[in-house]
Amino acid sequence: MSRIGNNPIAIPEGATVEVQDNLIIVKGKLGELNQPYTDVEIAVEDGQVTVSRTSDSKDHKAKHGLYRSLISNMVEGVTNGWSKELELVGVGYRASNQGQKLDIALGFSHNIVLEIAPEVKIETKSEKGRNPTIKLTSHDKQLVGQVAAKIRSFRKPEPYKGKGVKFVGEQLRRKAGKSA
Protein backbone atom coordinates (compact mmCIF):
# COMPACT_ATOMS: atom_id res chain seq x y z
CA MET A 1 0.00 0.00 0.00
CA SER A 2 1.42 3.36 -1.03
CA ARG A 3 0.98 5.95 1.69
CA ILE A 4 2.08 8.78 -0.58
CA GLY A 5 0.09 7.60 -3.61
CA ASN A 6 -3.19 7.40 -1.69
CA ASN A 7 -3.10 11.03 -0.47
CA PRO A 8 -5.30 13.34 -2.56
CA ILE A 9 -3.80 16.56 -3.96
CA ALA A 10 -5.76 19.73 -3.22
CA ILE A 11 -6.00 22.14 -6.16
CA PRO A 12 -5.56 25.73 -4.87
CA GLU A 13 -7.29 28.87 -6.20
CA GLY A 14 -6.02 29.92 -9.63
CA ALA A 15 -4.74 26.48 -10.65
CA THR A 16 -6.39 24.08 -13.07
CA VAL A 17 -5.64 20.42 -13.75
CA GLU A 18 -6.69 18.69 -16.97
CA VAL A 19 -6.28 15.03 -17.93
CA GLN A 20 -6.11 14.15 -21.64
CA ASP A 21 -5.27 10.68 -23.01
CA ASN A 22 -1.97 9.93 -21.25
CA LEU A 23 -1.05 13.54 -20.46
CA ILE A 24 -1.77 15.67 -17.41
CA ILE A 25 -1.69 19.47 -17.83
CA VAL A 26 -1.42 21.83 -14.85
CA LYS A 27 -1.93 25.58 -15.40
CA GLY A 28 -1.48 28.38 -12.89
CA LYS A 29 -0.46 32.00 -12.47
CA LEU A 30 3.27 31.20 -12.88
CA GLY A 31 3.02 29.01 -15.98
CA GLU A 32 1.95 25.69 -17.45
CA LEU A 33 3.44 22.22 -16.99
CA ASN A 34 2.55 18.88 -18.54
CA GLN A 35 3.56 15.32 -17.74
CA PRO A 36 2.88 12.09 -19.66
CA TYR A 37 1.86 9.12 -17.49
CA THR A 38 1.25 5.37 -17.76
CA ASP A 39 -0.03 2.52 -15.56
CA VAL A 40 -2.11 4.73 -13.23
CA GLU A 41 -5.57 6.31 -13.30
CA ILE A 42 -5.86 10.03 -12.50
CA ALA A 43 -9.20 11.57 -11.52
CA VAL A 44 -9.96 15.27 -10.97
CA GLU A 45 -13.09 15.98 -8.90
CA ASP A 46 -14.23 18.37 -6.15
CA GLY A 47 -11.03 20.43 -6.28
CA GLN A 48 -8.84 17.37 -5.68
CA VAL A 49 -6.67 15.09 -7.79
CA THR A 50 -6.55 11.41 -6.88
CA VAL A 51 -4.13 8.85 -8.29
CA SER A 52 -4.97 5.13 -8.28
CA ARG A 53 -3.10 2.18 -9.75
CA THR A 54 -4.59 -0.31 -12.17
CA SER A 55 -3.08 -3.44 -10.56
CA ASP A 56 -0.84 -4.50 -7.67
CA SER A 57 2.22 -5.35 -9.76
CA LYS A 58 5.57 -4.08 -8.51
CA ASP A 59 5.93 -1.61 -11.41
CA HIS A 60 2.43 -0.17 -10.89
CA LYS A 61 3.03 0.22 -7.15
CA ALA A 62 6.24 2.16 -7.84
CA LYS A 63 4.56 4.48 -10.35
CA HIS A 64 1.60 5.14 -8.02
CA GLY A 65 3.63 7.21 -5.56
CA LEU A 66 5.86 8.65 -8.28
CA TYR A 67 3.06 10.22 -10.32
CA ARG A 68 1.31 11.51 -7.20
CA SER A 69 4.53 13.30 -6.17
CA LEU A 70 5.13 14.66 -9.68
CA ILE A 71 1.60 16.08 -9.90
CA SER A 72 1.88 17.56 -6.40
CA ASN A 73 5.15 19.27 -7.36
CA MET A 74 3.58 20.60 -10.57
CA VAL A 75 0.61 22.09 -8.68
CA GLU A 76 2.95 23.64 -6.07
CA GLY A 77 5.19 25.01 -8.83
CA VAL A 78 2.51 26.80 -10.87
CA THR A 79 1.03 28.41 -7.72
CA ASN A 80 4.07 29.27 -5.54
CA GLY A 81 7.14 28.35 -7.60
CA TRP A 82 10.40 26.65 -6.60
CA SER A 83 13.75 28.19 -5.76
CA LYS A 84 17.29 27.08 -4.93
CA GLU A 85 20.17 29.16 -3.63
CA LEU A 86 23.83 28.39 -4.25
CA GLU A 87 26.76 29.90 -2.37
CA LEU A 88 30.27 30.38 -3.79
CA VAL A 89 32.82 29.73 -1.03
CA GLY A 90 36.41 30.67 -1.88
CA VAL A 91 38.77 33.59 -2.38
CA GLY A 92 38.13 35.32 -5.71
CA TYR A 93 34.97 33.35 -6.51
CA ARG A 94 32.45 35.69 -8.17
CA ALA A 95 29.10 35.46 -9.94
CA SER A 96 27.25 37.94 -12.15
CA ASN A 97 24.49 37.72 -14.71
CA GLN A 98 23.29 39.69 -17.73
CA GLY A 99 19.81 38.47 -18.55
CA GLN A 100 19.96 34.69 -18.87
CA LYS A 101 23.77 34.46 -19.09
CA LEU A 102 25.50 33.50 -15.86
CA ASP A 103 29.19 34.44 -15.59
CA ILE A 104 31.04 32.74 -12.73
CA ALA A 105 34.70 32.89 -11.74
CA LEU A 106 35.71 29.76 -9.81
CA GLY A 107 39.50 29.96 -9.77
CA PHE A 108 40.07 28.54 -13.24
CA SER A 109 42.13 30.37 -15.88
CA HIS A 110 38.89 31.51 -17.51
CA ASN A 111 35.37 32.49 -16.41
CA ILE A 112 32.54 30.03 -17.00
CA VAL A 113 29.65 31.50 -19.00
CA LEU A 114 26.45 29.45 -18.79
CA GLU A 115 23.28 30.10 -20.79
CA ILE A 116 20.30 29.46 -18.48
CA ALA A 117 16.91 28.21 -19.76
CA PRO A 118 14.35 31.04 -20.20
CA GLU A 119 11.92 29.41 -17.72
CA VAL A 120 14.43 29.91 -14.88
CA LYS A 121 14.85 33.36 -13.36
CA ILE A 122 18.38 33.98 -12.12
CA GLU A 123 19.52 36.45 -9.51
CA THR A 124 23.08 37.02 -8.26
CA LYS A 125 24.02 38.84 -5.08
CA SER A 126 27.47 39.96 -3.94
CA GLU A 127 27.83 41.79 -0.62
CA LYS A 128 31.09 42.85 0.96
CA GLY A 129 32.19 40.41 3.66
CA ARG A 130 29.78 37.67 2.51
CA ASN A 131 30.03 34.89 -0.05
CA PRO A 132 28.41 35.54 -3.46
CA THR A 133 25.05 33.79 -3.90
CA ILE A 134 23.09 32.66 -6.93
CA LYS A 135 19.29 32.31 -6.62
CA LEU A 136 17.35 30.26 -9.18
CA THR A 137 13.54 30.41 -9.32
CA SER A 138 11.04 28.74 -11.65
CA HIS A 139 7.72 26.92 -11.74
CA ASP A 140 9.44 23.67 -12.80
CA LYS A 141 11.09 21.88 -9.84
CA GLN A 142 13.03 19.46 -12.01
CA LEU A 143 14.51 22.23 -14.16
CA VAL A 144 15.60 24.30 -11.14
CA GLY A 145 17.31 21.26 -9.62
CA GLN A 146 19.00 20.36 -12.89
CA VAL A 147 20.40 23.89 -13.44
CA ALA A 148 21.54 24.09 -9.79
CA ALA A 149 23.29 20.70 -10.08
CA LYS A 150 25.01 21.82 -13.30
CA ILE A 151 26.35 25.00 -11.63
CA ARG A 152 27.47 23.01 -8.57
CA SER A 153 29.27 20.46 -10.78
CA PHE A 154 31.77 23.09 -12.00
CA ARG A 155 33.47 23.15 -8.56
CA LYS A 156 32.02 20.83 -5.90
CA PRO A 157 32.87 21.69 -2.28
CA GLU A 158 36.04 19.98 -1.13
CA PRO A 159 36.17 18.36 2.33
CA TYR A 160 39.30 20.05 3.76
CA LYS A 161 38.62 23.79 3.45
CA GLY A 162 35.02 23.71 2.19
CA LYS A 163 35.83 25.73 -0.95
CA GLY A 164 33.51 25.37 -3.93
CA VAL A 165 29.88 25.85 -4.94
CA LYS A 166 27.41 24.60 -2.33
CA PHE A 167 23.71 24.90 -1.62
CA VAL A 168 22.77 27.42 1.06
CA GLY A 169 22.25 25.48 4.28
CA GLU A 170 24.08 22.38 3.02
CA GLN A 171 26.12 20.61 5.71
CA LEU A 172 29.50 19.47 4.42
CA ARG A 173 31.46 16.56 5.88
CA ARG A 174 34.79 18.05 6.80
CA LYS A 175 38.01 16.09 7.14
CA ALA A 176 40.99 16.85 9.32
CA GLY A 177 44.17 17.79 7.47
CA LYS A 178 47.38 15.80 7.72
CA SER A 179 48.68 15.56 11.27
CA ALA A 180 52.33 15.94 12.16
How far from chain centre, in Å, is Cα 27? 18
| Positive or negative: CA dihedral 73, 75, 78, 82 | negative
Give per-residue pLDDT as tens, 103-140: 999 999 999 999 999 999 999 999 999 999 999 999 99
pTM: 0.90
Give per-residue pLDDT as tens, 11-28: 999 999 999 989 999 999
Q: Which amino acid is at 130?
A: R
What mean pLDDT is predicted for residues 37-63?
Answer: 91
> Which pLDDT does position 5 carry in this prediction?
87
pLDDT band, residue 178 (cuts 50/70/90):
confident
pLDDT value at 1 more than 60:
no
> Which pLDDT does position 2 carry in this prediction?
65
All domains in the chain, ordered by first residue: 3-79 (3.90.930.12), 82-167 (3.90.930.12)
Mean pLDDT of the chain: 93
